[in-house]
């Protein structure tokens, strides 16, 4: 039960906010209908570290974001579609900018997919969905995401495709071959076989936090950024130079560190326009693997 002491190295480099282009919403909190063994924030049906966000809360931040010229909105969780206000939230967001939803695909029944398509068609801006999948078949995916999930995820993807929406399939490198060209081709074949003519894929490395720390191992002490790691052109390749993450408990530096209170930057976006110390091990992953959570 002890709180892990964060021991910042003497000189963690700082990342400036170059421009606030991408605003994330932890709209599903840490509540999820799955409990994936690689989840870096250990989401589960009973994890209430962060709760659902309400439409009113989201609207308040969308208003503030407009004044700062935010370009795009991302919605994640937990599972966003567990939030009963999710579709209303999307409708409001699409009035002011493009929206992206990261979902596990389990709640994408034909009715919901048709409503999402209607939202997409009515909007002036892009609506994009991202569905997580962690293997080419049940025997590789289900040990990570849960028994029976492979078939249910594929059903969700099929429902989206049938409604005329082409999701980006997100695969983590827990699936070992995913990053190779032949691995990607296997996913493309799987999706083409489901009638998706233009398959889209995003590969993400794992963050050794939360449930993943127990599954694949935690970070070691050397996995930290130091001042001398600062690239010539600065830290603009990191998403935290152009994003912030809003949860029901305030504004955080990025989507990865919402379970680190030290990564909370303030209560409004205006509080969070300053630089942030890259003192967390996850910062090392973003730098070394060139990660961006964006699509």
Partner 1 sequence: MSKLIVHRGLATWGEALVPLDRFRAAAAEAGVRLTPEEREAAVRSYTAAVPDPAPVEGPYRRIAVFGGVYNNHFGLAALLDDAARRGAEAVYCLGDLGGFGPNPEKVRPLLAQGGVRAIQGNYEESLAAGREDCNCGYTDPRDNHFAEISYRYTERNCSGGYKAWMGELPRRRRVRVGERELLLVHGSPRRINEFLFRSTSPVPFLEVLLDQHRCDGILATHTGLHWHRRLPSGRDAVNVGVIGRPANDGGTNVWYAMLEEGEDGLVVDLLPLAYDHQGLAAEMRREGLPEEFVETIETGWWTTCLEILPARERAASRF
Answer for which of 259, 279, 283, 287 binds partner 1 (CB under 8 A) is 259
Could you say which DSSP state residue 89 is in? Answer: H
Work out whether 288 is an interface residue with partner 1 (CB under 8 A): no
The number of residues that bind partner 1 (CB under 8 A) is 64
Work out whether 42 is an interface residue with partner 1 (CB under 8 A): yes
Work out whether 261 is an interface residue with partner 1 (CB under 8 A): yes
Work out whether 108 is an interface residue with partner 1 (CB under 8 A): no
Residues 192-251 that bind partner 1 (CB under 8 A): 198, 200, 209-211, 213-214, 218, 249-251
Residues 164-183 that bind partner 1 (CB under 8 A): 164, 166, 181
Minimum distance from residue 125 beta carbon to partner 1 (Å): 5
Q: Which of 24, 78, 40, 80 is nearest to 214 (CA)?
A: 40
Which segments of 55-114 are extended strands (E)? 72-76, 99-103
Site string for partner 1, 6-35 (x = CB under 8 A): x------------xxx--------x----x
Answer for which of 125, 143, 223, 289 binds partner 1 (CB under 8 A) is 125
Burial 255-275 (b: 16+ CB within 10 A, else e): bbbbbbeebbbeeebeebeee
Q: What share of the chain is helix, strand, coil (3-state, %, to 5)?
A: 35, 15, 50
Q: Quote the crossing angle between the two packed helices 110-122 and 149-162, to the nearest 10°.
A: 40
Question: Rounded CA gap, 25 and 174, in Å?
Answer: 25
Work out whether 265 is an interface residue with partner 1 (CB under 8 A): yes
Q: Map tokens 């830290």 to a residue.
A: 235
Question: Rounded CA gap, 113 and 165, in Å?
Answer: 8
Question: Rounded CA gap, 25 and 70, in Å?
Answer: 13
Question: Rounded CA gap, 256 and 170, in Å?
Answer: 16
Q: Which is nearer to partner 1, 32 or 86 (CB)?
A: 32
Q: Helix, strand or coil for residue 295? A: coil
Q: How many CA within 13 A on the CB side of residue 22? A: 19
Minimum distance from residue 123 beta carbon to partner 1 (Å): 8
Q: Which stretch binds partner 1 (CB under 8 A): 8-16, 36-44, 104-112, 226-234?
A: 36-44
Answer for which of 28, 38, 47, 144 binds partner 1 (CB under 8 A) is 47
Q: Which stretch binds partner 1 (CB under 8 A): 80-88, 170-178, 223-231, 254-262?
A: 254-262
Residues that bind partner 1 (CB under 8 A): 1-4, 6, 19-21, 30, 35, 41-42, 44-49, 65-72, 96-98, 120, 124-128, 164, 166, 181, 198, 200, 209-211, 213-214, 218, 249-251, 259-268, 270-274
């Amino acid at each position: 039960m002890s709180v892990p002491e964060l021991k910042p190295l003497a000189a963690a480099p700082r990342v400036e906010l170059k421009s606030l282009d991408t605003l994330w919403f932890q709209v599903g909190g840490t509540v999820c209908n799955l409990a994936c063994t690689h989840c870096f924030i250990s989401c589960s049906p009973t994890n209430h570290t962060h709760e659902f966000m309400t439409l009113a809360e989201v609207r308040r931040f969308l208003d503030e974001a407009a004044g700062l010229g935010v370009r795009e909105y991302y919605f994640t969780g937990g599972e966003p579609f567990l939030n009963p206000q999710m579709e209303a939230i999307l409708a409001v967001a699409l009035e002011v900018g493009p929206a992206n939803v990261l979902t596990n695909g389990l709640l994408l029944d034909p009715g919901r997919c048709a409503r999402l398509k209607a939202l997409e068609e009515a909007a002036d801006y892009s609506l994009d969905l991202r569905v997580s999948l962690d293997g080419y078949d049940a025997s590789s995916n289900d040990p990570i995401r849960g028994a029976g999930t492979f078939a249910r995820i594929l059903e969700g993807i099929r429902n989206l495709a049938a409604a005329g929406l082409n999701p980006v399939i997100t695969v983590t490198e827990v699936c070992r071959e995913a990053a190779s060209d032949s691995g990607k081709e296997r996913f493309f074949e799987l999706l083409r076989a489901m009638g998706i003519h233009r398959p889209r894929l995003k590969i993400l490395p794992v963050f050794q936090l939360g449930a993943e720390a127990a599954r694949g191992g935690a970070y070691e002490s050397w996995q930290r950024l130091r001042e001398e790691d600062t690239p010539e052109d600065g830290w603009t390749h990191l998403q935290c130079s152009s994003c912030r993450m809003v949860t029901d408990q305030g504004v955080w530096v990025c989507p990865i560190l919402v379970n680190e209170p030290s990564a909370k930057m303030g209560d409004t976006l205006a509080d969070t326009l300053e630089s942030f110390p890259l003192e967390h091990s996850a910062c090392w992953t973003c730098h070394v693997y060139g990660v961006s959570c964006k699509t």
